[in-house]
Amino acid sequence: MGILPSEMNADICVIGAGASGITAALAAYWRDPSLKIVLVEEKERIGQKILVTGNGRCNLSNRTLTLDSYNEGAVRYEPVFRKSMADEVLFARLGLMLYEDESGRFYPYSNQASSVLNAFLNELNRTDIEVRAGSGVTRLEPGKQGIMIGFGNGEALLARRAILATGSPASVKSNRSEELVRQVGDRFIPFVPALVPLRIRGEQFRSLKGIRLKAAVALQKNGKTIRLESGEVQFGDGYLGGICVMDLSRYVDDGDYQLSLDLIPDRAKQGIISFLDASCSRSSNAAALLNGILPRRVGELLMRSMFPDAFSMSAGSLTEEDIGMVADLLKRWIIPVSSRCPMSQAQVCRGGVDGLDGETLSSARDPRVFYCGEIINVDGRCGGFNLHWAWISGKAAGEAAALSAREGIYE
- Bridge pairing between strands 198-200 and 348-354: unpaired
Instruction: Provide the number of structural domains found in the chain.
Output: 2
Across the range 338-367, mean pLDDT stands at 96
Read off the pLDDT of each residue in 142-170 and give the average, rounded to a whole number.
Answer: 94
Q: Among residues of the chain, what percentage have pLDDT more than 90?
A: 88
Evaluate whether residue 270 is within a structural domain: yes
Across 84-88, 204-208, 287-291, least confident range: 84-88
Distance CA 224, CA 258 (A): 9
Say if residue 181 is in the same domain as residue 325: no
The answer on 293 and 383 residing in a single domain is no
Instruction: Looking at the structure, tell me whether residues 383 and 396 fall in a common domain.
Output: yes
In angstroms, the CA 198 to CA 252 distance is 9
pLDDT at 313 over 50: yes
Say what the alpha-carbon torsion angle 274, 278, 283, 285 is, to the nearest 10 degrees: 60
| Residues 6+ positions from 6 with CB-CB distance below 8 Å | none
In a domain, 88, yes or no: yes
**pLDDT-based confidence at residue 87 (cuts at 50, 70, 90):** low
- Regarding whether 211 and 181 lie in a shared domain, the answer is no
| Judgement on whether residues 287 and 388 belong to the same structural domain of the protein | no
Task: Supply the Cα-derived Rg of the chain in whole angstroms.
Answer: 26
**Domain-embedded: residue 202:** yes
Residue 298 domain flag: yes
How does residue 1 score in pLDDT terms, banded at 50, 70 and 90?
Answer: very low
Q: Are residues 162 and 19 in the same domain?
A: yes
Task: Report pLDDT for 78.
Answer: 95
Cα first-last separation, the chain: 18
Q: Has residue 68 got a pLDDT over 70?
A: yes
* Residue ending a domain, choose from 286, 314, 340: 340
Q: What is the mean pLDDT of residues 66-84?
A: 92
Q: Which of 143, 177, 167 is nearest to 379 (CA)?
A: 167
Q: Both 179 and 241 in a single domain?
A: no
In a domain, 63, yes or no: yes
Pair 185, 207 in one domain: no
Q: Is 48 helix (H, G, I), strand (E, B) or coil?
A: helix
**Domain limit, last residue, from 324, 340, 356:** 340
Asked if pLDDT for residue 251 goes beyond 50, the answer is: yes
pLDDT on residue 409: 52
Taking only the tens place, the pLDDT of each residue in 167-195 is 999 988 789 999 999 999 999 999 999 99
* pLDDT at residue 85 greater than cutoff 60: no
Q: Which amino acid is at 83?
A: K
Mean pLDDT within 207-222: 96
- pLDDT value for 281: 85
The Cα 66–Cα 8 span in angstroms is 42
Distances (CA, A) of 181 to 138, 154, 170: 11, 20, 17
Angle between helix axes 320-331 and 296-306 (nearest 10 degrees) is 130
Are 57 and 130 in the same domain?
A: yes
Which CATH number fits the domain that encloses residue 371?
Answer: 3.50.50.60
Is the domain of 202 the same as that of 165? no
pLDDT at 2: 44
Residue 411 has pLDDT above 70, yes or no: no
Structural domain span for residue 399: 6-193+344-407
Same-domain status, 256 and 398: no
What pTM value is reported for the model?
Answer: 0.91
**Which contiguous run of DSSP H or E holds residue 351?**
strand 348-354
Report yes or no on 1 lying in a domain.
no
Q: Where are the beta strands (DSSP E) in 178-276?
A: 187-194, 198-200, 212-221, 224-235, 239-241, 257-262
Same domain, yes or no, for 66 and 86?
A: yes
Domain-ending residue, one of 340, 359, 381: 340
